[in-house]
Structure 1
Amino acid sequence: MNRKQLDPDSSPQAAFGARLRSAREERGWTQEELAKRLGYSSTHLSSVETGRKPPTLRLARSSDEVFGTGDQFVRAYYKVRNGGLLEGFPQFVEREAEAAEIRLYEVGVVPGLLQTEEYATELARGFVRRGAITSKQADERVALIAERQAALVRTPAPLVFAALDESCLRRPVGAPAVMRAQLDRLLEFAELPNTMLQVAPFSMGAHRPFDLPLYILTLHDRSLLSYAESAQRGQLERDNVFVVPLLTAYHQLQAEALSQAESVAMISELRKGIP
């Protein structure tokens, strides 16, 4: 019987397949036996194990359930799905899609939940030009943004509080038409019944509590988690000892920032000045 040797270091897809085979063989199961437990054909399972086919989220979740591995296979799936993303972000996105409240603060760029496709594409292309990600990963990033934005129109819709540093509005991305459309999108976002948009102006100076992007989620059971990024990695935090002070600081940011009416006026004025 020919047995394909697996190289888990060659790619996240190969690593997932190797993990699946290892877990199966530790339990002494054949591919046919595991396929039956997972609800897939043995042919499909073989293709995933050998890296010929990528795993699906359903397969990853079923694998964690069958093997009792918590969320190990789900985490491995997101490494396949979003290889160009920072650590922790794929797991954050999964919880974001089910959050009751979303609070975000962004510096320098419009946050993904509020980006137009053209704006997101320009940012992704910039990463490709710098050699940070591949063209395929750039396309995946843009597609993921569209998936995340679907959370804004689900039923029931989450409450979304967006605080943008003034630099998000003034940094040009792409051609003038791209920025005009992006500012229009922000104005549309502010009109939604489940959103609040505020600008943290440069004049806040030292009163601005954050220097890096921050996201805080309130889940339906009222539990909290946060996600923050540095240049090299993301940090997903679930411990209230660390998250609650961030939530307090976010409320302080909202108190110091421009009101939504003032923020909309600033965006409208900037929109008029784009040639």
Structure 2
Amino acid sequence: MRALLTGPDAPSVPALFAAELRRYRIEARLTQDELAQRVYCSSGLVSMIETGRRSPNKDFTRRCDEVLGTGGALMRLWPLLTREAYPSWFRPFVEMEATATAIHEFEVQAVPGLLQTADYARTVIGASWPPNSPDETDRQLAARLERQEILDRESPPLLWAVLDEGVLRRPVGTPDVMRTQLDHLLDMAQRQHIRLQIMPFNAGVHAAMDGSFFVLDLPNREHVVYVEGPGAGRLLIAPDVVTQLRLRFDALRGLALSPADSADMIAATLGDL
């Protein structure tokens, strides 16, 4: 792959991917139809990706590398493609999350992104207003699923999530989407490095009535807080703020159902669908 251009005149990552794909295809003396047949997709999809009208998914990118003999050049662009799908204010958090040794998360609206199924995530992303284009939805979905790969590492970060009961009760998508999502939560909760607790409605008021937040433990023994609102997010490193949110999370864990009782609540909710 050629050296990447930087600066204000540099092409966007999708445009760069499109140009590289077209170059490798031409060097391989393949037409769009021939490449499409070999990577098991339509020639229309190849055309849209080469003209920047559609973003590739990971399987397409990997197959193109194999068919075109690029030495993995296109897959090396993949992390840049997924990163560009995030809003600029979210990217620093994703980078820190990827290096964290432990992630503590309290959620009041939806299943945490790291624990979402593809169909659940697509429904959540698709609920935005003004609506995303189908291509933008695909890009954001691919980026969200890419984030989840940190949980499949040989040494994954510890994940401790406390979810408001409303997360289980709020229908997202069809009943099948919710059933699959709740099943997935139960499966993930069995992993050794994951703890999942539910904050039940009958717990009443609690220490985080003002909303969701993350506390990340970093390898250098530092801690970072992330909070998010409509259209913006903030990383907070002030020691007093970090200490306050760490104590708040401890209070939430103490008030929430135990991991075992939380699993029972998820299973009961699943049975009601």
Q: Shared fold by TM > 0.5?
A: yes
Structure 1 distance, partners of 2:233, 2:169, is 25
Structure 1 distance, partners of 2:247, 2:15, is 40
SS in 1 for 2:147: helix
Give the aligned partner of residue 170 of structure 1.
169
* Matching residue's letter, 2:183: D
Structure 1 distance, partners of 2:226, 2:239, is 13
Give the aligned partner of residue 220 of structure 2.
221
User: Which of 43, 49, 73 is equivalent to 2:9?
Assistant: 49
Structure 2 distance, partners of 1:93, 1:46, is 22
Structure 2 distance, partners of 1:46, 1:230, is 31
Contact 2:13 2:81 in 1 (8 A): no
Q: Percent identity?
A: 35
Structure 1 distance, partners of 2:260, 2:152, is 23
Structure 1 residues 177-216: aligned runs within 5 Å: 177-216=176-215
Provide, for residues 12-67 of structure 1, a one-character-per-residue CA deviation record: whole Å limited to 9, x for no partner: xxxxxxxxxxxxxxxxxxxxxxxxxxx954xx5389825365599xxxxxxxxxxx
Provide, for residues 134-182 of structure 1, a one-character-per-residue CA deviation record: whole Å limited to 9, x for no partner: 3332222211111111011112111100100111000001111000000
Give the aligned partner of residue 31 of structure 1.
none
* Matching residue's letter, 1:217: L
Give the aligned partner of residue 268 of structure 2.
269
* Matching residue's letter, 1:221: N
Structure 2 distance, partners of 1:143, 1:79, is 7
Structure 2 distance, partners of 1:93, 1:52, is 20
Provide, for residues 115-144 of structure 1, a one-character-per-residue CA deviation record: whole Å limited to 9, x for no partner: 0000001111211xx315333322222111
Q: How far does residue 209 in structure 1 lie from its aligned partner after superposition?
A: 2.4
**TM-score of the pair, normalised by structure 2:** 0.70
Q: 1:51 to 1:242 in 2, by over 3 A?
A: same
Give the aligned partner of residue 235 of structure 2.
236
SS in 1 for 2:240: helix
SS in 2 for 1:103: strand
Structure 2 distance, partners of 1:174, 1:186, is 16
* Matching residue's letter, 1:107: V
Q: 1:259 to 1:94 in 2, by over 3 A?
A: same
Give the aligned partner of residue 244 of structure 2.
245
Give the aligned partner of residue 68 of structure 2.
none
Structure 1 distance, partners of 2:139, 2:208, is 32
**TM-score of the pair, normalised by structure 1:** 0.70
Give the aligned partner of residue 93 of structure 1.
94
* Matching residue's letter, 2:200: P
Contact 1:217 1:226 in 2 (8 A): yes
Structure 1 distance, partners of 2:99, 2:83, is 22
Q: 1:46 to 1:143 in 2, by over 3 A?
A: closer
Q: How far does residue 251 in structure 1 lie from its aligned partner after superposition?
A: 0.3
Contact 1:106 1:164 in 2 (8 A): yes
SS in 2 for 1:49: coil
SS in 2 for 1:235: strand
* Matching residue's letter, 1:136: D
* Matching residue's letter, 1:100: T
SS in 1 for 2:91: helix
